[in-house]
């Protein structure tokens, strides 16, 4: 099952197009969402996809933040969810935390919920990052605190999330040419964040930039991407790396794969190709 859009990066111009089942050569075209440029003018949208185990339903979520105040983390996003079972979009009425998911960072589906690293403005005009969570079962929004970083330079880097076995992991690129990997040992408990690895790059300037964390393999190895967009895997303990022979292009992401068969046979919605 795959979610498809008309843009490769799910940016402010993105509009979810279809859910595709490749093994059956069919897809369901999603209807126009409730929140559009006609209704809200300028906005930024982030899209997520996951499975609701309570109702056995695949769902697509859109987080829409208005320009200016929304993108600066001064207002809560408006959230809507598409249900494959009903074939409709609906607005989530639960109150969302104030903040905006970070641009260009993909969502992570873990523990029945979608997770984004988000930003919000606090008193004194300071910006802080946190994890914005949408539970696909109850369609309730909440937030999870990120680990308390020990050095000022750690706050200057890029942050993204990934599932790591039965835990949630954080990739934190620092200003010291290194990538710190944190794991939340007990889900939802801030004090359980533990730094498990630091991947450092020697050298100076742009060429010594830290690799970007992509995802974890079932073996526990982490998949990283270097400045040339080349993918390689790394053992967290030995830090021995292996070139995967894959080169990304512009926007690289990975997710876990579980074989399943979803019959997209809803009346008037399934299209074969």
All residues at 6 or more sequence positions from 128 whose CB lies less than 8 Å from its CB, including other chains: 119, 120, 122
Give the whole-angstrom CA distance, residue 147 versus residue 190: 7
* Own/partner pairs, 256-263, CB within 8 angstroms, 24+ separation: 256/163, 256/215, 256/218, 260/1, 261/21, 261/23, 261/24, 262/1, 262/21, 262/58, 262/84, 263/21, 263/24
| Closest listed residue to residue 63, CA positions, set 88, 41, 35 | 35
- Tell me which of 109, 131, 163 is where a domain ends: 109
User: Which two three-digit tokens encode residue 11?
Assistant: 């940016």
Domain presence at residue 261: no
Within this chain, do residues 78 and 180 fall inside the same structural domain, yes or no? no
Residue with structure tokens 């990975």? 254
Query: Would you state the pLDDT for residue 173?
Result: 87
Query: Would you state the pLDDT for residue 70?
Result: 60
E strand or H helix that includes residue 230:
strand 230-234
Residues in the chain: 273
Within this chain, do residues 99 and 170 fall inside the same structural domain, yes or no? no
Please count the other Cβ atoms lying within 10 Å of the Cβ belonging to residue 107. Answer: 24
Within this chain, do residues 103 and 1 fall inside the same structural domain, yes or no? yes
- Tell me which of 59, 89, 109 is where a domain ends: 109
Give the whole-angstrom CA distance, residue 8 versus residue 256: 19
Host domain of residue 217: 145-253
Query: Would you state the pLDDT for residue 269?
Result: 47
Within this chain, do residues 149 and 105 fall inside the same structural domain, yes or no? no
Within this chain, do residues 17 and 105 fall inside the same structural domain, yes or no? yes
Count: domains in the chain: 2
Domain presence at residue 52: yes
What are the residue ranges of helices labelled H in the chain?
37-40
Query: Would you state the pLDDT for residue 202?
Result: 65
Residue with structure tokens 């802080």? 128
69, 157, 163, 178, 244 from 174: Cα distances, Å = 27, 4, 20, 6, 24
| Closest listed residue to residue 218, CA positions, set 232, 231, 230, 233 | 233
| Closest listed residue to residue 161, CA positions, set 120, 197, 212, 196 | 212
Within this chain, do residues 105 and 171 fall inside the same structural domain, yes or no? no
User: Which two three-digit tokens encode residue 240?
Assistant: 């021995």
Within this chain, do residues 82 and 151 fall inside the same structural domain, yes or no? no
- 14 contacts 45 by C-beta, under 8 angstroms: yes
Query: Would you state the pLDDT for residue 113?
Result: 97
Domain presence at residue 272: no
The CATH number given to whatever domain includes residue 222 is 2.40.128
Domain presence at residue 123: no
User: Which two three-digit tokens encode residue 129?
Assistant: 């990052």
Within this chain, do residues 89 and 4 fall inside the same structural domain, yes or no? yes
Domain presence at residue 230: yes
- 236 contacts 216 by C-beta, under 8 angstroms: no
Domain presence at residue 191: yes
DSSP 153-186: GGGGS-EEEEEETTEEEEEEE-TTSEEEEEEESS
Within this chain, do residues 99 and 151 fall inside the same structural domain, yes or no? no
Say what the pTM is.
0.83
Within this chain, do residues 154 and 64 fall inside the same structural domain, yes or no? no
- Report the chain (273 residues): mean pLDDT per 10 consecutive residues: 46 52 70 81 85 91 80 82 93 90 84 94 83 96 91 70 94 84 95 91 61 90 90 88 86 73 53 41
Within this chain, do residues 78 and 167 fall inside the same structural domain, yes or no? no
Query: Would you state the pLDDT for residue 25?
Result: 62
- 173 contacts 212 by C-beta, under 8 angstroms: yes
Query: Would you state the pLDDT for residue 172?
Result: 92
Please count the other Cβ atoms lying within 10 Å of the Cβ belonging to residue 117. Answer: 23
Within this chain, do residues 249 and 197 fall inside the same structural domain, yes or no? yes
Query: Would you state the pLDDT for residue 10?
Result: 35
- 154 contacts 200 by C-beta, under 8 angstroms: no
């Amino acid at each position: 099952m795959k979610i498809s859009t008309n843009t490769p990066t799910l940016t402010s111009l993105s509009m979810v197009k279809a859910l595709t089942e490749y093994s059956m050569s069919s897809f369901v075209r999603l209807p126009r969402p409730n929140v559009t440029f006609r209704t809200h003018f300028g906005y930024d949208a982030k899209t997520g996809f996951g499975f609701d185990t309570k109702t056995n339903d695949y769902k697509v979520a859109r987080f829409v933040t208005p320009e200016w105040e929304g993108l600066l983390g001064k207002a809560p996003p408006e959230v809507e969810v598409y249900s494959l079972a009903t074939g409709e979009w609906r607005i989530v009425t639960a109150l969302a935390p104030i903040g905006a998911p970070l641009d260009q960072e993909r969502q992570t589906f873990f523990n029945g919920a979608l997770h984004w690293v988000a930003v919000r403005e606090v008193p004194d005009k300071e910006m802080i990052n946190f994890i914005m969570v949408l539970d696909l079962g109850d369609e309730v929004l909440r937030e999870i605190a990120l680990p308390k970083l020990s050095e000022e330079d750690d706050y200057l880097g890029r942050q993204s999330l990934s599932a790591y076995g039965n835990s949630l992991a954080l990739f934190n690129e620092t200003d010291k040419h290194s990538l710190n990997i944190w794991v939340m040992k007990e889900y939802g408990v801030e004090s359980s964040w533990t730094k498990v690895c630091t991947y450092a790059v020697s050298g100076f300037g742009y060429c010594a930039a830290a690799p970007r964390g992509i995802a974890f393999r079932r073996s526990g190895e982490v998949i990283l991407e270097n400045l040339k967009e080349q993918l390689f895997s790394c053992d967290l303990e030995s830090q021995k790396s292996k070139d995967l022979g894959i080169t990304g292009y512009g926007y690289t992401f990975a997710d876990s794969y579980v074989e399943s068969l979803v019959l997209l046979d809803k009346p008037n919605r399934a299209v074969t190709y």
